[in-house]
Amino acid sequence: MGTSTPYTLHATTYYLNPYYHYNLNFKVNANIKIESYQCLERIVSDAIEMCIIDLQLESFKDAKGLFGIEATITTRD
């Protein structure tokens, strides 16, 4: 794994921030997504846990499950 950079953490923070992520103008830059997964890879060493997190990220991306309920949607802004 590479060295952690402030950019990696900032990219992850941006990618996971509902205010930006669910904005209609939000565009996922491939580099931001790569940096986010590299950051996650440094934090989580267990492959099974990483798979679970990846599934949760898909729910987050698609606003499904807890990410799609009204109470969660109203707190995005």
pLDDT tens for each residue of 10-25: 888 888 899 999 999 9
Residue type, 9: L
pLDDT band at 49 (very low <50, low <70, confident <90, very high): very high
- pTM (predicted TM-score): 0.73
pLDDT of residue 7: 66
Give the total residue count for the chain: 77
* 18, 76 Cβ separation under 8 angstroms: yes
